[in-house]
């Protein structure tokens, strides 16, 4: 065994004091958000009605490479960060691979995922702006949990609209949010105009993420002292999540390891964008020769089968348009698809990088993902989130290729979270009744039918 | 703020290579286990029919101070250990106390608690003995989960008898065990003679821990290549759990802190016995002036209201007799009591130490425990297990006393695990419908009615 430890922790003094803004290194910047009414790029003023001011500034800043992490956020980070970079010795042995596997584990906090990194930042700026509270939507519940934790810390009010079907099927997620003092409303609700309208049109609907977004935005813009916050997709979120990549970079340096392959799961792109940030910079600059792989579910394949086009970010079509790889805002993944990674689009930053050939993408079917998850749980002792398990699946496949070729590649992947609240999905897998729905070409054509006419 | 970090981690090279056997330091050794049939101390031979040989040796060894941790177990420990010693800066600030609060956090592994420390050791010795598998019972499910993880690692068969009411109410706990390859049977079952008997006598019963123990023991002794394992109470378990205290001792030394008060929750005693091991040694030897406090639920108050007497360890009265503080093997805590710490007795080692005046004990009501848990979750970002929250409650109370006196005491407590699978209890608390049943003197008299006639 090498002298690299199982877990590499940075000292608190080595923790990043700045986030890294990946856009600053990009030769082609991501296309701007566009106002669906005017067809023009969204201005700071327009965005400020919905988002906190400093977050709008971060959203629009594509040139500043490093942005200071405020002291208060760094204090909070110290409660659960630095997160460990783990050498997967046990998995390597089980696979009998010459490859070296490393994972950056973001699940050791009560939100159960990396989402807390951006939630605390967004809550901080809301507090600094003197707001009373924030609103958001949550589907699987990780983002809502992270945001409630952050709001409890800064004593901000937190209103979460939770897709009704999740609210009913995941009472424990809801209960964690309540324990942190958040109000959780099943969506659609009678609390908003848009909710009432939807309920009138579709009585008995169990809701959708798009509808929950609409309700959260409505409450933010119609209540004095509230703004809306979002857990993925946006540039500001990728900025905050760069803490993952910066810590990974520092830890790899500490143990003298150069990554050959970096792998992350991709839904809206928050984890992947954060993990790869400094490595992508080096790759763009020609300082690092490294493959970067996005892994998405075959049931919601934005990168691998999507169109690179302007589209709405929400099903309700009230948010700005973003140029991204998209399945169409009307696309809804199969209901039996477990966990997150259900967003129809993708971060504009990652979309541009993929379009420009800086990264690869693959799509994997659900059963194989849970097979990899179970294998990982049994050897590495961590029950992974279904989302994270997409990256595990790809990492295992790459490690097995190394077994054939004899290459000792360094493979680094993001383990974004734990699966403690996803056991209904694990149960389906254990019972052998999980299925692998893959959208047909017709499904995709339907999704694209609503694409707006913006170039 | 002081220069003590939020989290103190030992390097892997600093991790303990030996467990510490607290009995070796005790002036009065714990009374031996007694065969209920003969009234004589259990011999190694008698115990070996039920337990693995090396574990029997550890169980009976009261003189060897340090016992080597086998290399294979240390490798497994490295997957999730060393665990952090956390300075609770945020909680201190919220309480405005001059006290310094530290907690040793054992929840950062998929079993969600410290139980894994002993599960992996017991699985290792079973494997080493060439066994096919092990059997056990589980109530709340933490021990069963830990054991399934350990058995998956060593590819041992793992048969868990889960109290039927938990099996039905905690499907997620059950599912984690299945994911780790364990077979989980609701108890009482038709798989054992004792199960059939109980079902015939009490059709429709939802089971009890005592009954599950009986089934697990029967399967172990009637199946070639199987032994029974237990997650608390036993001396061997306290020995394995000493890793908690040894790491805590090393971390405190690293940051130059001497504990004034050490606090742990107490059910069967595995966490408390492990946490205090080296500190109790120093206290006995006169090298450390430090209060040691056991915290138990007011609904199951073995230390504070129990009798120090020989008693059965199980409700079914098939296990050896142990001299301990006990509420009687017939005592069953109120069904509305959340989480673990429901055992009617207490580790013989801790019982003797308490009897000899080396430690204090307090009992706390359930609602106050969840109040402390919620306060802790909102400031320290960790959703604690109900069991652990007993220690939190006591630590907060001691910190508030320091606020009155102005004393800057160093308070160390054990945070044994997370509450992700205890959200039904949190929900009761959030809904304001948790109650604080405390047994009457008559309840206790009833429990003692079955005490055996052994001195």
Residues β-bridged to residue B358: none
Q: Encoding tokens for residue B18?
A: 């030996």
Residue bearing the bigger pLDDT, A449 or B351: B351
Taking CB atoms and an 8 Å limit, are B171 and A378 in contact across chains? Answer: no
State how far the Cα of B324 lies from the Cα of B312, in Å rounded to an integer.
Answer: 10
Element of type H or E holding A212: helix A209-222
Q: Encoding tokens for residue B444?
A: 């206790």
Taking CB atoms and an 8 Å limit, are A179 and B426 in contact across chains? Answer: yes
Nearest to A422 by CA among A370, A353, A364, A380: A370
Does A183 score more than 70 pLDDT?
yes
Taking CB atoms and an 8 Å limit, are B153 and A90 in contact across chains? Answer: yes
Tell me the shortest Cα–Cα distance from B94 to chain A, in angstroms. 10
pLDDT (tens digit per residue) in A68-121? 999 999 999 999 999 999 999 999 999 999 999 999 999 999 999 999 999 999
CB-based contact B409:B102 (threshold 8 Å): no
Distance of alpha carbon B359 from the chain centroid: 17
Q: Kindly provide the residue ranges of all beta strands, DSSP E only, lying in B321-423, ordered along the sequence.
A: 321-326, 360-364, 410-415
Query: What's the pLDDT at A325?
Result: 97
Does A375 contact B at CB distance below 8 Å? no
At residue B417, what are phi and psi to the nearest 5 degrees?
-175, -175
pLDDT (tens digit per residue) in A205-254? 888 777 888 899 999 999 999 999 999 899 999 999 999 999 999 999 99
Query: What's the pLDDT at B166?
Result: 83
pLDDT band at A289 (very low <50, low <70, confident <90, very high): very high
DSSP secondary structure code for residue B11 in this structure? -
Distance of alpha carbon B440 from the chain centroid: 25
Q: Is the C-alpha dihedral spanning A191, A193, A195, A198 positive or negative?
A: positive
Q: Encoding tokens for residue A446?
A: 């339907």
Q: Which CATH fold topology does B80-112+241-448 show?
A: Rossmann fold (3.40.50)
Name the percent of chain A lying above pLDDT 70: 98
Buried/exposed B146-155: b ≥16 CB within 10 Å, e otherwise: bbbbbbbbbe
Mean pLDDT computed over every residue of chain B: 94
Does A79 contact B at CB distance below 8 Å? yes
How many other CB atoms sit within 10 Å of the CB of residue B49?
A: 12
Does B93 contact A at CB distance below 8 Å? no
| Residue whose entry in the numeric block shows the structure tokens 């080692």 | B349
Q: Encoding tokens for residue B49?
A: 């029919």
Distance of alpha carbon B125 from the chain centroid: 20
Query: What's the pLDDT at B21?
Result: 98
CB-based contact B412:B252 (threshold 8 Å): yes
Residue A188: cis peptide before it, omega within 30 degrees of 0: yes
State how far the Cα of A120 lies from the Cα of A125, in Å rounded to an integer.
Answer: 9
Question: Which chain A residues touch B92 with a CB distance below 8 Å?
Answer: none
Segments in B61-187 forming alpha helices (H): 71-80, 89-95, 116-128, 142-154, 164-169, 171-179
Question: Which chain B residues touch A171 with a CB distance below 8 Å?
Answer: 423, 427
Does B130 contact A at CB distance below 8 Å? no
Helix-strand-coil split of chain A, %, nearest 5: 45, 15, 40
Does B115 score more than 90 pLDDT?
yes
Q: Of A175, A178, A381, which has the smallest distance from its Cβ to B109's Cβ?
A: A381
B403 class by beta-carbon count within 10 Å (0-12 exposed, 13-18 middle, 19+ buried): middle
Does A334 score more than 90 pLDDT?
no
Nearest to A72 by CA among A189, A156, A190: A156
Does B11 contact A at CB distance below 8 Å? yes
Rg from Cα positions in chain A: 21
pLDDT (tens digit per residue) in B265-309? 999 999 999 999 999 999 999 999 999 999 999 999 999 999 999
Which residue, among B2, B7, B83, B255, would best test binding to A if mutated, counting the most A CBs under 10 Å from its CB? B7
Distance of alpha carbon B291 from the chain centroid: 20
Instruction: Please calculate the CA angle B410-B413-B415 and round it to the nearest 5 degrees.
Output: 145
Query: What's the pLDDT at B12?
Result: 93
Question: Going by DSSP bridges, is the β-strand pair A85-87/A7-8 parallel, antiparallel, or unpaired?
Answer: antiparallel
Nearest to A61 by CA among A349, A271, A351, A266: A349
Question: Going by DSSP bridges, is the β-strand pair B7-8/B18-20 parallel, antiparallel, or unpaired?
Answer: unpaired
State how far the Cα of B166 lies from the Cα of B138, in Å rounded to an integer.
Answer: 9
Question: Going by DSSP bridges, is the β-strand pair A18-20/A66-68 parallel, antiparallel, or unpaired?
Answer: antiparallel
Tell me the shortest Cα–Cα distance from A218 to chain B, in angstroms. 28
Contacts of A270 (CB under 8 A, 6+ apart): A114, A115, A118, A231, A232, A233, A237, A238, A241, A347
Q: Encoding tokens for residue A313?
A: 């970010």
Taking CB atoms and an 8 Å limit, are A430 and B175 in contact across chains? Answer: yes
Taking CB atoms and an 8 Å limit, are A179 and B377 in contact across chains? Answer: yes
| Residue whose entry in the numeric block shows the structure tokens 């810390």 | A153
Query: What's the pLDDT at A39?
Result: 92
Query: What's the pLDDT at B140?
Result: 81
Which residue, among A3, A9, A72, A79, would best test binding to B if mutated, counting the most B CBs under 10 Å from its CB? A79
Does B382 contact A at CB distance below 8 Å? yes
Tell me the shortest Cα–Cα distance from A7 to chain B, in angstroms. 8
Name the A residues in 401-430 with CB < 8 Å from any B CB: 418, 420-421, 423, 426-427, 430
Tell me the shortest Cα–Cα distance from A357 to chain B, in angstroms. 37
Question: Which chain A residues touch B105 with a CB distance below 8 Å?
Answer: none
Query: Of how many residues is chain A composed?
Result: 455
DSSP secondary structure code for residue A345 in this structure? S
Averaged over A150-159, what is the pLDDT?
97
CB-based contact A251:A8 (threshold 8 Å): yes
DSSP B204-233: T----HHHHHHHHHHHHHHSTTEEE--SSS
Q: Of B5, B175, B430, which has the smallest distance from its Cβ to A179's Cβ?
A: B430
Q: Encoding tokens for residue B448?
A: 């003692």
Taking CB atoms and an 8 Å limit, are A172 and B76 in contact across chains? Answer: no
> First-to-last CA distance in chain A?
55
3-state SS, residue B102? strand
3-state SS, residue B66? strand
Tell me the shortest Cα–Cα distance from B413 to chain A, in angstroms. 17
CB-based contact B316:B342 (threshold 8 Å): no
pLDDT (tens digit per residue) in B310-369? 998 876 677 889 999 999 987 877 766 666 777 889 999 999 999 999 999 999 999 999
B338 class by beta-carbon count within 10 Å (0-12 exposed, 13-18 middle, 19+ buried): buried
Query: What's the pLDDT at A316?
Result: 65
Does B210 score more than 90 pLDDT?
no
Name the B residues in 154-173 with CB < 8 Å from any A CB: 171-172
Does B222 score more than 70 pLDDT?
yes
Averaged over A292-319, what is the pLDDT?
90
Question: Which chain B residues touch A182 with a CB distance below 8 Å?
Answer: none
Q: What is the pTM of this model?
A: 0.95
| Residue whose entry in the numeric block shows the structure tokens 């059963």 | A367
pLDDT band at B8 (very low <50, low <70, confident <90, very high): very high
Q: Is the ipTM of this complex over 0.90?
A: yes
Does A15 contact B at CB distance below 8 Å? no
Which residue, among B8, B110, B374, would best test binding to A if mutated, counting the most A CBs under 10 Å from its CB? B110
Tell me the shortest Cα–Cα distance from A300 to chain B, in angstroms. 25
DSSP secondary structure code for residue A384 in this structure? B
CB-based contact B241:B271 (threshold 8 Å): yes
In Å, how far are A78, A314, A427, B2 from A17, measured between CA atoms? 12, 33, 42, 19
CB-based contact A339:A327 (threshold 8 Å): no
Domain ranges for chain B, please list them.
80-112+241-448
Nearest to B180 by CA among A418, A248, A363, A430: A430
Q: Is the C-alpha dihedral spanning B306, B310, B316, B320 positive or negative?
A: positive
How many other CB atoms sit within 10 Å of the CB of residue B392?
A: 30
Taking CB atoms and an 8 Å limit, are B149 and A181 in contact across chains? Answer: no
Name the percent of chain A lying above pLDDT 90: 83
Question: Which chain A residues touch B11 with a CB distance below 8 Å?
Answer: 5
B398 class by beta-carbon count within 10 Å (0-12 exposed, 13-18 middle, 19+ buried): buried
CB-based contact A94:A379 (threshold 8 Å): yes
Question: Which chain A residues touch B116 with a CB distance below 8 Å?
Answer: 381
For helices B386-405 and B366-380, angle between their N-to-C axes, nearest 10 degrees: 80
CB-based contact B423:B384 (threshold 8 Å): no
> Number of Cβ pairs closer than 8 Å across A and B?
118
Closest chain B residue to A152, measured at CA: B378
Does B370 contact A at CB distance below 8 Å? no
Taking CB atoms and an 8 Å limit, are A378 and B152 in contact across chains? Answer: yes
CB-based contact A377:A383 (threshold 8 Å): yes
Mean pLDDT computed over every residue of chain A: 94
State how far the Cα of B33 lies from the Cα of B454, in Å rounded to an integer.
Answer: 11
Taking CB atoms and an 8 Å limit, are A79 and B426 in contact across chains? Answer: no
Tell me the shortest Cα–Cα distance from B379 to chain A, in angstroms. 6
Q: Encoding tokens for residue A49?
A: 């009605």
Does A78 contact B at CB distance below 8 Å? yes
CB-based contact A325:A306 (threshold 8 Å): yes
Does A11 contact B at CB distance below 8 Å? yes
């Amino acid at each position: 065994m090498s002298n690299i430890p199982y877990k590499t922790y940075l000292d608190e003094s080595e923790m990043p004091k700045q986030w890294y803004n990946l856009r600053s290194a990009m030769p082609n910047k991501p296309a701007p958000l566009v106002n669906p009414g005017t067809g023009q790029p969204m201005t700071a003023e327009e965005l400020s009605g919905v988002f906190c001011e400093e977050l709008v500034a971060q959203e629009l800043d594509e040139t500043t490479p490093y942005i200071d992490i405020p002291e208060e956020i760094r204090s909070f980070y110290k409660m659960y960060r630095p997160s460990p970079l783990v050498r997967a010795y046990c998995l390597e042995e089980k696979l009998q691979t010459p490859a070296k596997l490393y994972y950056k584990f973001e699940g050791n906090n009560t939100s159960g995922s990396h989402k807390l990194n951006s939630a605390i930042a967004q809550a901080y700026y809301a507090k600094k702006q003197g707001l009373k509270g924030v609103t958001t939507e949550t589907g699987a519940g990780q983002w809502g949990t992270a945001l409630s934790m952050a709001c409890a810390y800064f004593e901000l009010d937190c209103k979460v609209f939770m897709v009704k079907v999740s609210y009913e099927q995941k009472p424990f997620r809801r209960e964690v949010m309540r324990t942190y003092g958040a109000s959780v409303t099943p969506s659609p609700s009678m609390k908003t105009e848009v909710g009432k309208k939807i309920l009138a049109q579709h009585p008995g609907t169990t809701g959708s993420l798009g509808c929950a977004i609409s309700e959260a935005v409505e409450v933010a813009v119609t209540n004095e002292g509230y703004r809306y916050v979002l857990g993925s997709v946006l540039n500001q979120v990728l900025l905050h999540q760069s803490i993952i990549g910066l810590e990974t970079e520092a830890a790899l340096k500490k143990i003298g390891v150069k990554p050959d392959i970096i792998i992350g799961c991709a839904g809206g792109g928050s984890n992947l964008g954060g993990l790869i940030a400094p490595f992508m910079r080096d790759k763009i600059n020609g300082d690092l020769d490294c493959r970067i792989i996005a892994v998405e579910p075959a049931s919601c394949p934005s990168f691998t089968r999507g169109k690179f086009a302007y589209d709405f970010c929400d099903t309700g079509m009230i948010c700005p348009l973003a140029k991204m790889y998209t399945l169409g805002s009307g696309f809804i993944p199969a209901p039996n698809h477990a966990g997150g990674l259900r967003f129809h689009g993708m971060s504009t930053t990652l979309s541009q990088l993929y379009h420009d050939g800086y990264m690869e993408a693959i799509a994997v079917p659900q059963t194989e993902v849970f097979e990899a998850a179970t294998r990982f749980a049994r050897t590495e002792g961590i029950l992974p989130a279904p989302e994270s398990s997409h990256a595990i699946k790809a990492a295992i496949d790459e490690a097995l290729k190394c077994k054939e070729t004899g290459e000792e590649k360094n493979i680094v992947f993001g383990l974004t979270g734990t699966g403690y609240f996803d056991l209904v999905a694990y149960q389906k897998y254990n019972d052998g009744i999980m299925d692998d729905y893959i959208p047909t070409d017709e499904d995709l054509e339907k999704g694209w039918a609503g694409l707006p006419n913006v170039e």
